[in-house]
Amino acid sequence: MAIFIDQISKRYGEHIVVNRVSLEVGEGELVVLLGSSGSGKSTILRMVAGLIIPDEGRIVLHGKDITALPPQKRGLGFVFQNYSIFPHMTIAENIEFGLKIRKISSPERQKRSHRLLDMVGLSGLGSRYARELSGGQQQRVALARALAYEPNILLLDEPFGAVDTKTRIQLRQSLKTITRNVGVTTIMVTHDQEEAFELADRVAIVNRGRIEQYGLPSDIYYNPATAFTAGFVGDINTFEGRIKSCGKERCEIELFEHWLVYRRGPHSFQPGQKVFYGIRPEQIRVSLLEPEKHENGIFGIIEKSTFLGDITRYAIRLNNNRLLDVQLLNYLFLDGMVMPYELNEPVWLIWSQASGMIVPSDEACEQHPSVFCA
Amino acid sequence: MKQIRTIQHKISSWLPAGFLLLVMLPLILLPLASVFIYAFKGGLGNLVLSLTTDDVLFAIRFSLIIAFATALVNAALGTYAAYVLSKTRFPGRTQLGIILNLPVAIPNVVVGTSLLLLWGPIGLFGQALEPMGLQPMFTPVGVLLAHIFVTFPYMLGTIKPVLDDLETTYEEAAYTMGANRLQTFFHVVLPALKSGLLTGSLLTFAHSLGEFGATIMVSGNLRLRTQTAPLYIFSQFEAGNIQAANSVAALLSLISFVLFSIIIYFAARNSRK
């Protein structure tokens, strides 16, 4: 285990920004802290860096307790959101800064800075200044600078925040390749879910100073541990309901108007327990035929369709006047239409009983009102 | 019809500036012009003569040296004070900041008398220094002390805003790369202060050059010892040597004008960046 964060907390006056957070990161792993603004994710990162001192808890790096060490002595690399390239030094001098502090000789420094410039795709631009480069290029410099002295860990604080979308995607892909090649243990902070899922080996969902869930992107997406995570990652249709029964093979849940849905697999819910049942828009298919016995389904009327290029989103009006979000891949384009169904046509919405999420109802509304109390 | 409107437009666009000039004429422009007129009154030959007497040469040289030394000392002191006030947190920080800016609010003459009271023969420090044979008052050291005191807020006021605006992430970046506070200051913070230091130094220099109130008190106005250029001008006026006084006044005005033009030029260049 490369990094062990042990119950760290940070308080500013009455406001608890980080609340007893624990996390472990494996050697060479890329972990992403995903959360919205104010969730405390940047504070956690800065405590690992030593830029903020935790009020309690400790940080262990390769078995050594570094909680009391200043940032200079932690041997880490940090990439800031605003790049922070020193404006009065050339790019090469910026990259060599960490090496100069470590008293590496000038020819060796130059060799390394050339190699790093090549690695981040900025060969030959060493004598330029920050103001002559684009945002994306500056971010590459920041990365090269942080990796120059071969740090133990690489920390990135919303590194692609200030860049346009296309550049973001390019930088993302470069980052993954570079960190893989260098083999450095990395922790990154972002609010962008797609970015987190593309880059991370594991994702930690951060909410109000706590880690809601920590695991593989697919685990978080399909098996959210909390109501917050279910609503935060991706889109989801939610229904209030009550557990009718939970056996070894599957659970039976009663939703509005005695509509029953099933969820395969063993669960530990009690009969009569109030829950939220969720199904994601891309997990639903549209059909004129009734659902089979092994499927879940509901009847509805197509009220709206939005063409988004690769997908089409549908808003389906259900019997209880609710709208269901459905997302279909635009697989076929025939006779000037993407789908053979028309507006106001009654259809069946069907999904597998292996899909769907059950989340206990008590905290759901409080944790994520926009999704669960709409 | 169009011609009249064009003429009217021309007049109306020049009117505000013209009115300003009219108001400024008796306040600033005419007095300044009179200095130069009187300086040239006896002819160019006389002007050169009055600018090359021993007293004048000493006074100008002394003023320039004091101004230069003041700028140097205040550059170091001002940077240090700005750094402490801007980057460190301690109780009473705001109050200290106000106190350090006080010299601007105190009449320069009062600064002079306060220094005399502290360092003079009957002063607290003065009494302690007397047995060692040291007496800073009525010496060039005393003049330097007075100038440092009086011009310090100008340096502080120029550098501190630059430090305040400097993003902390630059320093944090340096820390994460292994640099300690001192290394970070020299390699990251100081270079960013270059323009502020230049402007501050020029400002301090210019103010020191024209300093009168505190200087007349602490220097004793001893010619060829502690007499600065402004003091010389004053003495000559008192003695009735109008032409001599105005010659040096004209020269001093010219130097100050050049200095402030440079300051304004750099300030404009920085704001454009």
pTM of the model: 0.80
Within an 8 Å CB–CB cutoff, is residue A346 touching chain B?
Answer: no
C-alpha torsion angle, residues A12, A15, A18, A19 (rounded to 10): 130
Q: How far is the alpha carbon of B191 from chain A, nearest alpha carbon, in Å?
A: 7
- Beta carbons within 8 Å of A280's beta carbon, 6+ residues apart: A234, A235, A236, A237, A355
Can you give the pLDDT at residue B1? 66
A129 at the B interface (CB within 8 A)?
no
Q: How far, in Å, CA of B120 to CA of B135, rounded?
A: 7
What is the full DSSP assignment across A109-154?
A: HHHHHHHHHHHTT-TT-TT-BGGGS-HHHHHHHHHHHHHTT--SEE
pLDDT of residue A73: 93
Is B240 in a helix, a strand, or coil? coil
As a whole number of angstroms, the distance between CA B236 and CA A235 comes to 87
Task: Please provide the size of chain B in residues.
Answer: 273
Q: Are B83 and B166 in contact (CB under 8 A)?
A: no
pLDDT in tens, A139-171: 999 999 999 999 989 999 999 877 888 888 888
What does chain A come to in residues?
Answer: 374
Mean per-residue pLDDT, A40-55: 95
pLDDT at B33 over 70: yes
- Which residues, in sequence order, are bridge partners of residue A60? A4, A65
Distance from CA of A277 to the nearest CA of B (A): 45
For chain B, say whether A70 makes contact (Cβ under 8 Å). Answer: yes
Angstrom CA distances, B177 to A100, A150, B98, stand at 10, 11, 36
Which chain B residues touch A149 with a CB distance below 8 Å?
177-178
Question: Cβ contacts of residue A291 below 8 Å, gap of 6+?
Answer: A297, A348, A350
Helix (H) or strand (E) run with residue B160 in it: helix B140-165
Nearest to A72 among B180, B188, B194 (CB): B180
**Residue B13, min C-alpha distance to chain A (Å):** 39
- Closest Cβ–Cβ partner in A49, A86, A102 for B176: A49
B172: contact with A, CB 8 A cutoff: yes
Q: Which helix (H) or strand (E) holds A348?
A: strand A346-352
The residues with which A32 forms a beta bridge, in sequence order, are A188, A203
Question: For A86, which of B170, B176, B194 is closest by C-beta distance?
Answer: B170
Contact, A217 vs A197, CB < 8 A? yes
- The answer, for B238 touching chain A at a CB cutoff of 8 Å, is no
The residue among A88, A139, A149 with the most chain B CBs within 10 A of its CB, best to mutate, is: A88
> Longest Cα pair distance anywhere in chain B, in angstroms?
88
Confidence grade of residue A27 (pLDDT, cut at 50, 70, 90): very high
Nearest alpha-carbon partner for B128 in B137, B143, B141, B118: B118
Give B174 to chain A, closest Cα distance, Å.
8
The verdict on a CB contact (< 8 Å) between B177 and A98 is yes
Measured in angstroms, the CA of A18 and the nearest CA of chain B are apart by 21
CB contact under 8 A, B178 and A149: yes
Residue with tokens 């389906």: A316
The proportion of chain A whose per-residue pLDDT surpasses 90, expressed as a percent, equals 65
CB B147 within 8 A of CB B208: yes
**Beta strands A250-254; A237-246: pairing state:** antiparallel
Half-sphere exposure of residue A217, counting CA atoms within 13 Å on the CB side?
14
Domains in chain A, ordered, with CATH? 236-372 (2.40.50.100)
> How high is the ipTM of this complex?
0.84
The residue of chain B nearest to residue A147, with distances taken between CA atoms, is B177
What residues of A are in contact with residue B173 (Cβ under 8 Å)? 78, 80, 84, 86, 145
How far is CA A100 from each of CA A109, A125, B51, rounded to the nearest angstrom? 8, 19, 54
pLDDT score at A185:
95
CA atoms within 13 A on the CB side of A120: 29
> Do the Cβ atoms of A78 and B170 come within 8 Å?
no
Report chain B residues whose CB lies below 8 A from the CB of A146.
Answer: 176-177
Angstrom distance (rounded) from CA A33 to CA A21: 12
Give phi and psi for A346, each to the nearest 5. -75, 135
**Closest Cα partner for A156 from A164, A147, A165, A166?**
A147
Enter the tokens of residue A153. Answer: 């860990």
The answer on pLDDT for A336 being more than 80 is: no
In the chain, the amino acid numbered A230 is: A
- Contacts of B39-45 spanning 24+ positions with Cβ under 8 A: B39/B243, B39/B246, B39/B247, B39/B249, B39/B250, B41/B243, B41/B246, B42/B243
| Residue pair B59/B248 in contact by the 8 Å Cβ criterion | yes
Query: Predicted confidence band at B178 (pLDDT cuts at 50, 70, 90)?
Result: very high
Are A148 and A99 in contact by the 8 Å Cβ rule? The answer is yes
Query: Which of B167, B178, B194 faces A72 most closely, judged by CB atoms?
Result: B178
Amino acid at A21: V
CA distance A337 to A308: 13
Of A48-57, A79-88, B17-26, B139-148, the one with minimum mean pLDDT is: B17-26
pLDDT tens per residue, range B99-140: 888 888 889 899 889 888 888 888 888 888 878 877 888 888
Q: How far apart are the first and last CA of chain A?
A: 42
Q: Which of A86, A139, A143, A156 to mutate to test the interface with B (most CBs of B within 10 A)?
A: A86
Interchain CB contact of A82 with B (< 8 Å): yes
Decide if pLDDT at B272 tops 70.
no
Of the ranges B30-34, B55-59, B111-115, which one carries the lowest mean pLDDT score? B30-34
Q: Rounded mean pLDDT of chain A?
A: 90
pLDDT band with cut points at 50, 70 and 90 for residue B88: confident
For A177-195, the pLDDT digits (tens) are 998 899 999 999 999 999 9
- Name residue, tokens 């209880």: A320
**Eight-state DSSP code of residue A270:** P
Query: How confident is the model at residue A374, as a pLDDT?
Result: 56
Measured between beta carbons, which residues in chain A are less than 8 angstroms from residue B179? 72, 97, 101
What's the CA gap between B205 and B193, in Å, rounded? Answer: 18
pLDDT, residue A364, reads: 67
Name the DSSP class of A304: E
Alpha-carbon separation of residue B193 from B186, B201, B259, B261, B273 (angstroms): 10, 12, 20, 21, 14
Q: Is A173 touching B (CB cutoff 8 A)?
A: no
pLDDT exceeds 70 at position B271: no
Tell me what the mean pLDDT of segment A98-123 comes to. 92
Contact status, residue A209 vs residue A21, Cβ threshold 8 Å = yes
Q: A49 and chain B: CB distance < 8 Å anywhere?
A: yes
* Residue A205 φ/ψ, nearest 5 degrees: -85, 120
Token look-up 């971010």 returns A139
Nearest to A101 among B169, B170, B177 (CB): B177
Q: Which residue has the higher pLDDT, B63 or B255?
A: B63
Please measure the distance between the N-terminal and C-terminal CA atoms of chain B and give it in whole angstroms: 45
Which one, of A159, A185, A152, lies nearest residue A69 by Cα? A152
Angle between helices B140-165 and B190-210 (to 10 degrees): 140
Place of tokens 């290394």: B183
User: Chain B, 184-203: which have a CB under 8 Å from a chain A CB?
Assistant: 187-188, 191-192, 194
Q: Give the span between the Cα atoms of A130 and A257, in whole angstroms.
A: 63
B42-272 fold: MetI-like fold (1.10.3720)
Is residue A363 over pLDDT 80?
no
User: Which of B236, B234, B194, B231 is CA-nearest to residue B209?
Assistant: B231
Among A229-243, B14-28, B72-86, the least confident range:
B14-28
